[in-house]
A = this chain, B = another copy of it.
Amino acid sequence: MPYVNIKVTNEGVTRQQKQRLVSGVNHLLKEVLNKDPKSTFVIIDEVELDNWGIGFDLVSDIRKSLD
Bound-complex Cα distance A50 to B15 (A): 7
Which range holds the interface residue count of chain A? 35 or more
> Contact: B15 with A21, CB < 8 Å?
no
**A4-B7, A6-B2, A51-B45 as given contacts; A13 in contact with B28, CB under 8 Å:** no
7 extra interface residue pairs, beta carbon distance < 8 Å, beyond A1-B59, A25-B25, A43-B51: A1-B41, A1-B54, A13-B33, A26-B53, A26-B55, A41-B52, A44-B52
Question: Can you name 16 A-B residue pairings with CB atoms under 8 Å?
Answer: A2-B6, A2-B8, A3-B41, A8-B35, A17-B32, A19-B61, A20-B32, A21-B32, A25-B25, A26-B53, A26-B56, A38-B55, A43-B47, A43-B51, A45-B51, A46-B51
